Amino acid sequence: METFPHQIERYLHQKWDTRQDFCVTEKTPTILQKVGLDDLCVTYSPKHLRNAMKPKNSWNHMHGLSVEQIKNLPNLLKHPVAILDSTKRNSILVILDTFDTDHMPVICSIKFMAESKTFVVENESVHHITSVYGRDSFEDFVKINIENNKFLYIDKKKSHGQFGILQKLYPQDQESLDSDISIRPSKNIVKSQFIVWAKEDHAPILDMGDEYVDAAVSYICNEISEHGLQTSFKDLMAQAYELSMDDYGREYGR
């Protein structure tokens, strides 16, 4: 498969079929797999590329990134500053080690398990980059996501300085931390996998209310964070399901 920079060059010289998404990486970077993404192709659309490279304009969602920054996406995704859950339940956010023209840190939004629109992996699921943009009010963005416990992974070295993430997350004890900090698996990803499992097994938990699904997902994430994946993921989902069913039975006397 041709490299992502070569695909971009073809696009810039009008030799790319704009109905086809770009394949940024043929395999999901290891660090993204560690927070729960399956090993799939990561894609990016010509439309989003155009928006990323046009002069920055927040009203029209233009982001003012350079061609070289875009070409470097595969490497930036392999070595991010941080990863966090998005407010959109089917996405994660990656803070990249680069800045836009206003010197704002660049964020990459990735929709996981999306429909493929690239001929290379046609009719297969992919992880699709929906936006690459400089994040205005970055300090407020970090503060809100710390308060909402959204951070999944932080690179200690890169998160210092202008990013200022580690100082806000661990203000008292930064030096004793490991160089790379894996906090927990993505609740967004775990929840999507749990719902698929529940549907396949015709489990009634999906009809019991979101709080029981969320409780099961929290149990799975906590178990993985504290003990690692010591059993199969399906077995862990079954354990979480049984605990939620027990809670439901106690609450409603069933």
Kindly report the CA angle at 216 between 213 and 219, in degrees rounded to 5? Answer: 150
Q: In what order do the strands lie in the sheet with 82-85?
A: 22-25, 42-44, 125-134, 105-115, 91-99, 82-85, 151-155, 180-182
Of the candidates 214, 212, 208, 211, which has an alpha carbon nearest to the alpha carbon of residue 187? 214
- Give the whole-angstrom CA distance, residue 249 versus residue 254: 4
Whether the CB-CB separation of 88 and 102 falls below 8 Å is answered with no
Domain ranges in the chain are 4-182, 187-252
For residue range 127-168, what is the model confidence (pLDDT) as tens digits?
Answer: 999 999 988 888 889 889 888 889 898 887 777 666 666 566
pTM: 0.81
For residue range 47-90, what is the model confidence (pLDDT) as tens digits?
Answer: 999 888 887 666 555 557 999 999 999 999 999 999 999 998 89
Q: Quick count: other Cβ atoms within 10 Å of Cβ 46? A: 17
Helix (H) or strand (E) holding 6: helix 4-12
